[in-house]
Structure 1
């Protein structure tokens, strides 16, 4: 099953992260105590995966801007 934004945000909150970075060509990364940390067990995000994660929280109007 593909990773969800909810799952990544839950990990970020549980780890006390202030940021979640989602970038095509990189694995999900969180910022904890000012340091960037790669999330273990998550592969590099492809362009379609990154788009799917971002679009999961956008309205249809926002997606078409």
Structure 2
């Protein structure tokens, strides 16, 4: 299955995301916007630590962040 097909099958293909470096386990992962479009929410794929980043109307253009 092609990457684009797999992303669409998983429902993540067109959802906005940001890249996060989870410093707890030194792992990069994407986190996606929630259904209410009020925050980006995700979990560290190794230890399960949750991160939630609220969306600010005057936000940033940055797409990559570090979670400490």
Question: TM-score, structure 1 length as denominator?
Answer: 0.33
| Between structures 1 and 2, the one with greater strand share | 2
More RCO (CA 8 Å, sep 6+): 2
